[in-house]
A and B are shown apart, each in its own frame.
Chain A
């Protein structure tokens, strides 16, 4: 059984935001408009956090793409009253939109703030509706949503490999963010496969987990920026 994980190389990330755009496109995430975004309703399943360090003229700018960490000890899972947030056998934290009644407890419990609530029914102005991905369901008002490691791509590739009668190759599954990143900062793969790129990167001496001391055991390793 594979265990999906990601490695994010902060040395390579330049904050371009291509991953954010690709995620919106792949996962049918609607934009909410400037006014609603200012009120905190934007739904960026992956976001690029930007931190300024130091005072002028020694200012440094750091970027950190943050998506759902698919924690092994996810605090968002036990608190959902309807089992909408639960853990799958391949290490993903699944969000079942059909079970969600919108208590938003999972979002409060998530220390990474990677869970988003649908405040209104989504809408796409024509002709943007033609760009919707048929593999991903649309979420109605009142449910929680978050990064799924592009589970539709994982499932698609797994089914294809099974149909072809071959094992999955490393790098065959690329979530939209990893596929779009021009600097190849995001690496996705099977952590249980010792030969995969993400396994190797997770063991790097530059590697650390976000908010490690909280005990959530995230599946995403961040490789420290060296320059």
Chain B
């Protein structure tokens, strides 16, 4: 401990957290090559879909939404943990948040970017996607503000803007650190990014006030975004879609999947960037407990939704109900229940099982389970609406599987690139947490011009 009772010096924090930026191993290039290749293949796949026709997908009458909309809802859901966790932990001043906030905020921004691509990918005429933007066109027509898809457009853009700013603002002081510790081209780039940051008390106060306001603003926006995504379903008279519980159900599911993604990201970063000193088992414990809580909440909402449907006993709804529970979709359904409910409860609920490895296993299970949950909301209902003559079975085609799978590669790629250019743990926030509060040095007064401390 030094004179101020600090455990780690600023130099130590700087060198540890800047090492990924300053040193690059061959593993980085290999990762970028592999994941970049997968993403490139998906781009080629989508181009062929646009040029050869939408028919190369498995979409059919009457199942008009499939893998793409599943991925859309899934990735928007993943985006919820980051900013929500970071914002809530900031507002309640939880000290353990410090190494976690940026990892979380990055997940939000990239998951949102990936998710927001899908409303364009799944369009029949994607070159006209700009019609969703309200601009005065020569056709004198504006978007239909009563459509849930237009609400999606506004909500996702607001959330993306808010999250990107929420991520970028606390990066400014860290860009200043990189600027000070580097030379040449890197120094020039980070000097621009640091926006002339110096670290005066005024700047710190303005930054922290801005973060407070944004934390308060971003939480209702995050809740609204996934509620609005759930409105994509609940506004249509499809069996088991017209449920008033969809809003909170989707938000809870989103936070659930987001925490799982955050746990995976943290565990991977801890291992590969040697951040064992900064990401402690207690961080994983705390997030693991949150995961457990969200698993219980998710189970509560599923129980609500299904019990009410069961009691309603309407033929159209019950046909879809049984389809998921014991007919053709039963294997997927029970896998989902195991991954989302049983596994987290066992691994996170029993204290001796709650290790970093088990957190990762539970989280991977939750990610799989939540993807399945989105799929099982969309496809069984659409394939089994009210007129039996028009039932249909959806079979995903290679292009859809490729694009949906490549999103995971895209997320990893973006994350790896980000960790290469920005310190993945917020340096200044960590330093601020290192301070053991000491007694206040009083300011200068008339009697004591030097303001000496009197013990």
User: A residues touching B (Cβ–Cβ < 8 Å)?
Assistant: 36, 39-42, 47, 49-51, 66, 75, 78-83, 99-105, 107-109, 111-113, 116-121, 140-144, 210-211, 214, 216
Contact = CB atoms under 8 A, between A and B. Distances in A.
A50 B124 CA distance: 31
Interface string B373-385: 0000000001001
A33 B54 CA distance: 16
A109 B236 contact: yes
B15 interface: no
Contact of A119 (B53, B147, B232, B386): B53
B55 A81 contact: no
26 contacts: A39-B60, A40-B60, A40-B62, A40-B63, A41-B55, A42-B61, A47-B389, A49-B389, A50-B389, A78-B144, A78-B147, A78-B235, A79-B148, A79-B235, A81-B150, A104-B65, A104-B124, A105-B147, A107-B64, A108-B238, A109-B236, A113-B390, A117-B59, A118-B124, A210-B387, A216-B237
A120 B392 CA distance: 19
B43 to A, nearest CB: 19
A142 B388 CA distance: 26
A212 to B, nearest CB: 11
B219 interface: no
A202 B235 CA distance: 30
Given A40-B60, A113-B385, A120-B53, A102 B147 contact: no
Interface stretch (B125-133, B293-301, B318-326): B125-133
Contacts of A100: 124-125
Contacts of A49: 387, 389-390
Given A66-B387, A78-B144, A105 B129 contact: no
Given A81-B132, A99-B141, A142-B124, 20 more contacts: A40-B63, A49-B387, A66-B387, A75-B236, A79-B147, A79-B235, A101-B123, A101-B129, A102-B125, A103-B123, A104-B124, A108-B238, A111-B386, A113-B62, A113-B385, A113-B387, A117-B64, A118-B54, A120-B54, A121-B53
B128 A40 contact: no
Contacts of B129: 101
A22 B4 CA distance: 89
Nearest to B386: A111
A109 B239 CA distance: 10
Contact of A211 (B60, B61, B148, B386): B386
B169 interface: no
A83 B55 contact: no
A142 B148 contact: no
B312 to A, nearest CB: 12
B55 A75 contact: no
B240 to A, nearest CB: 13
A109 B235 contact: yes
A73 to B, nearest CB: 10
B216 interface: no
Contacts of A112: 386-387, 390
Interface in B131-151: 131-132, 141, 143-144, 146-150
A105 B387 contact: no
Contacts of A111: 237-238, 385-387
Contacts of A99: 131, 141
A34 to B, nearest CB: 14
Interface in B145-187: 146-150, 153
A104 B382 CA distance: 12
A82 B131 contact: yes
A51 B390 contact: no
A144 B54 CA distance: 12
B97 interface: no
Contacts of B387: 49, 66, 111-113, 210-211
Nearest to B395: A39
Interface of B: 53-55, 59-65, 119, 122-126, 128-129, 131-132, 141, 143-144, 146-150, 153, 232, 235-238, 382, 385-390, 392
B352 to A, nearest CB: 47
A43 B109 CA distance: 40
Contact of B54 (A40, A141, A210): A141
A80 to B, nearest CB: 6
B125 A101 contact: yes
B124 A117 contact: yes
B237 A41 contact: no
Contact of A102 (B60, B124, B385): B124
B119, B126, B386, B388 interface centre (most CB from chain A within 10 Å)? B386
A8 to B, nearest CB: 14
Nearest to A36: B55
Nearest to B389: A49
A129 to B, nearest CB: 19
Contacts of A75: 236-237
A78 B389 contact: no
Contacts of A144: 124
Contact of B61 (A82, A117, A120, A142): A117
* Shortest Cβ-Cβ A-B pairs, 5 listed: A102-B124, A142-B124, A40-B60, A119-B55, A109-B236
Contacts of B232: 105
Contact of B144 (A39, A82, A113, A140): A82
B236 A81 contact: no
B65 A116 contact: no
A49 B388 CA distance: 9
A6 to B, nearest CB: 17
Nearest to A75: B237
Contact of B62 (A80, A107, A210): A107
A133 B129 CA distance: 30
Contacts of B123: 101-103, 142
Nearest to A211: B386
A49 to B, nearest CB: 4
A104 B123 CA distance: 8
B149 A79 contact: yes
Contacts of B124: 100-104, 117-118, 141-144
Nearest to A107: B64
A200 B388 CA distance: 30
Contacts of B153: 81
